[in-house]
Amino acid sequence: MGQTQQTENSQEIDVKALQDMYKRLVLECPSGLLFLHEFKRFFGVDPMGEASDYAENMFRAFDKNGDNTIDFLEFVAALNLVFRGNLEHKLRWSFKVYDKDNNGYVDKDELHSIMDSIDRLKKGWRSEAGASQLSVEEVVDRLLAAVDSDGDGHISLEEFLKGAQQDPWVLSMLKLDLDPAGWVLDQRRRSAHF
């Protein structure tokens, strides 16, 4: 019984957060289009700060039609996915964040770029034992070894999904352990205090 109530409350919070974001979007962007600089401002991201690269990758993944803007439908669809999507949908979205050039594969440079952004936000990786720090290079090499099943130096969507679902550490890395829903809410809280 307590679990059901907790689930219902978290869904109410999600709906309230979506409603608040919609109101703010309409006020700040009456055209209904959100450009990258507005996206960063909307979520309180310093254009030169640690979250800037991550925000750019999120923006690109939200921009489904590739027109360098996020319209309200893309915005709502993306937020619905990150707040309510199942694991496979979230992993597919994460793959789009990693695949910067949108060629259907994640290469070592793309993987390194995202891991470096997240590393700067989190201030270092911990091994699963929690005792030692892993460098970005160690994380990238370990992920490639675990996920790139055909050894071609690229991670396909299928390899990405399979690798994430077979290893809890890989899953925590590939689904962007700094989950988008949490990141969005955290950025909103930070911007509300300033």
Contacts by 13-16 with C-beta closer than 8 Å and gap 24+? 14/83, 14/84, 14/181
| Cβ–Cβ under 8 Å, residues 117 and 54 | yes
- Please give the pLDDT value at position 190: 58
Class of domain 87-177: mainly alpha
* Superfamily of domain 2-85+181-192, CATH level 4: EF-hand (1.10.238.10)
- Please give the pLDDT value at position 108: 94
Cα pseudo-dihedral 140, 143, 149, 150, rounded to 10: 0
CA 28 to chain CA mean position, Å = 23
Q: Which two tokens stand for residue 127?
A: 């091994």
Name the one residue in this structure whose structure tokens are 């994640």: 106
| Nearest-angstrom CA–CA distance, 110 and 134 | 18
Per-residue pLDDT in tens (0 to 9) along the chain, 194 residues = 444 333 443 444 467 777 777 787 778 778 878 889 888 877 777 777 767 777 888 888 888 888 999 887 887 777 777 667 788 888 888 888 888 888 999 999 999 988 887 777 665 444 444 545 788 899 899 999 999 999 999 999 999 999 998 998 888 888 764 445 555 556 556 555 54
182 closest CA partner among 2, 41, 58: 58
**Does the fold of domain 87-177 match that of domain 2-85+181-192?**
yes
184 closest CA partner among 40, 8, 30: 40
Domain assignments of the chain as residue spans, ordered by start: 2-85+181-192, 87-177
- Please give the pLDDT value at position 193: 53
- Please give the pLDDT value at position 105: 94
DSSP result, 7-63: HHHHHHHHHHHHHHHHHHHHHH-TTSEE-HHHHHHHTT--TTSTTHHHHHHHHHHH-
